[in-house]
Amino acid sequence: MAEDGGHATIIKKVKKGKGGGHHGGAWKVAYADFVTAMMAFFLLLWLLNALDEKKLKGIADYFTPTWTVFRDAGASHTMPMQSGTPDINVGQGGVSMPSFERSDLTPPPSPMDLQPDMAKRPAANPADEAPPEELPVNDPAEAMRRVLSGERLEAPKTMQTFEQAVQDAAQRMVEARDRARERDIAARGAAERRSFEDTADRLLKAISSDPSTRELSGNLTLRVTDEGLEINIMDREDEPVFPSGGAEPYPAARRLLALAATTVRASPNQIAVRAYLGGEPGTRPDAWALTAERAIAAQKVLTDAGVPVARVEEVSGRGQSTMLVPDQRADPRNNRITVVLRRAVPVSS
């Protein structure tokens, strides 16, 4: 290389790839053709499904020739054509058709030609004419034309009917659920009322079977209210529950409270303990404090007899606010302790 003047000879080899391989773009053209063909195919299927039978027949008639050849083996027929049109001979050997000039052929009618001329019909009474039929919404071509022209299309009646049916079904489901809930509440409420009545019967039997409390049955009233089972232990003329002005109940009243505790402790319902005083409002300045102390004392007797403290959710002194005998505020029965076995199920209206 020194003899060539010191210049080195550089040889560059370039490999020419054949086709694009995986990196070429030829496959994209074929894929695009395939996608286009599939799109046209599915568009055709959609149009065939969207059009009704009448429109499909009109399109078929448009592409059907105005003449038809019927072949019957072993027979030869000559079918007359339209005026000025040569005949066609059909036989066993095949069909013999003369040559036609372009001017001899009649172009096939268009779908519009297949419809009768509405303008030539005799005028009818406007009152007898039916209103123009609304275009069915399931006609995609006309619907697209109307949308592109800026016309607002209403929802199809079938869709409106479907939506209304869905709303009606949902409303019926809500009403059925509410009725089922009401029936369930009513059933549980009736069962709870029977439980209260059974508790009252057991308490009365326990009092009448105990000689120490048998004479105190007149100090007791039981009733089922909207709040629950109400047990009232009240004063009598000859048998008070509390001493006058005192907060601790007499021994006989304690025995009644203990029997009540034994009866209600088997029930899961919550308990309220309240104390009341009779007389005109304001005649006892200490009415609120005294009734509060009596309620606390009665609650202690109940819990000592086995009622769980967690089940006692109310202990209150009501003063002279509520009378058991409203029209006789001085009646001794208004001085009372009330134990309420509260409802777990609300009273249905």
Q: Tell how many helices (H) and how many strands (E) occur in the chain.
A: 7, 8
- pLDDT tens-digit readout, 90-134: 444 444 444 444 444 455 555 445 444 544 455 445 445 545 444
Per-residue pLDDT of the chain (349 residues; tens, 9 = 90+): 445 556 677 776 666 555 555 566 788 888 899 999 999 988 888 877 777 777 777 777 777 765 444 444 444 444 444 444 444 444 444 444 444 444 444 555 554 454 445 444 554 454 455 454 444 445 556 666 665 666 665 555 566 676 787 888 888 888 999 899 888 888 898 899 999 999 999 999 998 888 878 888 888 999 999 999 999 999 988 889 999 889 999 998 999 999 999 999 988 999 999 999 988 877 888 899 999 999 999 999 999 999 999 999 999 999 998 999 999 988 999 999 999 999 998 876 5
pLDDT at 21: 54
Given a contact cutoff of 8 angstroms between Cβ atoms, the answer to whether 308 and 266 are in contact is no
User: Which fold would CATH assign to domain 197-342?
Assistant: 60s Ribosomal Protein L30; Chain: A; (3.30.1330)
Report phi then psi at 316, rounded to 5: -145, 145
Q: Model pTM? A: 0.52
Domain residues of the chain, as ranges?
197-342
DSSP string, 198-256: HHHHHHHHHHHH-TTTGGGGGGEEEEE-SSEEEEEEE--SS--SS-TT-SSPPHHHHHH
pLDDT at 306: 92
- Break the chain down into helix, strand, coil percent, rounded to 5: 45, 10, 45
DSSP 126: T
pLDDT at 194: 92
Calculate the CA 15 to chain-centre distance.
71
pLDDT at 148: 61
Burial class (CB in 10 A: 0-12, 13-18, 19+), 16: exposed
CA end-to-end distance (rounded Å), the chain: 117
**Most distant CA atoms of the chain, gap in Å:** 152
pLDDT at 280: 81
pLDDT at 250: 92
- Return the residue matching tokens 């309620």: 295
Token pair listed for 129: 């004419």
Residue partners of 166: CB distance under 8 A and separation at least 6: none
Identify each DSSP E strand in the chain by its residue range.
77-79, 88-91, 94-96, 220-224, 228-234, 271-276, 312-317, 336-342
* Gap between the Cα atoms of 250 and 243, Å rounded: 7
